[in-house]
Amino acid sequence: MKATAPASGFSLLELMVVLAVMGIVVSLGVPLLDPSRRQPLETTREVLRQELREARQLAVQGQRLIGWRPDETGYRFLTWREDGRWEPLADGRLTAGAWPDGVTVTRRDPSDAPTAMPWVIWWPDGEVAGTTLMLHHAQRHLELAVGRPP
């Protein structure tokens, strides 16, 4: 009687178990790679920096006052009306934004101005009445200087 050699390699069942485990690990790991989840402050600062730059360009090109004001849930861009009021900007390029979960904003130099006033104002000549914004998330914070030297 001839002895048979043991089978080498993996069984189909073993391969399926390994692939299932790898699929679970990958599905759990992908959200961790998303920069907006990993670094909400950095992502928020960069998006806001771009939009604020766009607001300045819009003020100069459109020859009008543009303002920016945050609230608890997000922020909005405003424009000055001839009758002396601020109203939401109806320009498709700059829309209202929402803060990511847990992100809040304050000013480094709190103002005594009424809460209805924008925190940042761009003039048609390119000048900016700015401030330094403090973005907060958990125990971290980042600054964003608007219209001021960094």
What is the domain partition of the chain in residue ranges?
A: 39-146
- For the segment 116-141, what is each residue's pLDDT rounded down to a tens digit? 789 999 999 989 998 899 999 988 88
Q: pLDDT tens-digit profile of 49-93?
A: 999 999 999 999 999 999 999 998 999 999 998 898 999 998 788
Homologous superfamily of domain range 39-146: minor pseudopilin epsh domain (3.55.40.10)
Per the CB < 8 A criterion, the answer to whether 144 and 49 are in contact is yes
Rounded (5°) CA angle 106-31-19: 170
Whole-prediction pTM: 0.69
